[in-house]
């Protein structure tokens, strides 16, 4: 489900991406928000709306796979790596 929900979030939020947007900074922000919050809803923007963690995390992972690893959406869907494996790979990339 994270692939389907994450892709929908990526498409829905493309126009709202700021010109100074950085995937690495967005991943850092997600990790920091997860440390502070105990529920599954994450604030997307200051003063903005909240989204379920599943959507936000899925969007980051899909964006990583498409924009960093240069996979097509079909390749993402066919990929056999688990959500945990992709998340760990994305975090490792963000920390470089």
Residue listed under structure tokens 């923007």:
45
Sequence ranges of the domains in the chain: 2-94
The dihedral region occupied by 12, where left means phi > 0, alpha psi between -120 and 50, and beta the remainder, is alpha
pTM for this entry = 0.84
What's the farthest any 2 CA atoms get from each other in the chain? Answer: 38
Element holding 22 (H helix, E strand): none
pLDDT digits (tens, 9 = 90+) for 61-88: 999 999 999 999 999 999 999 999 999 9
Strand partners, 50: 43
């Amino acid at each position: 489900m994270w692939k389907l929900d994450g892709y929908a979030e990526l498409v829905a939020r493309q126009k709202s991406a700021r010109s100074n947007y950085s995937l690495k900074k967005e991943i850092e922000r997600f990790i920091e928000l997860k440390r502070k919050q105990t529920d599954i809803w994450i604030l997307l923007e200051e003063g903005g709306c909240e989204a379920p963690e599943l959507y936000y995390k899925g969007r980051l992972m899909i964006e990583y796979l498409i924009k960093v690893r240069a996979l097509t959406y079909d390749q993402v869907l066919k990929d056999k790596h688990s959500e945990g494996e992709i998340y760990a790979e994305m975090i490792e990339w963000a920390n470089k």
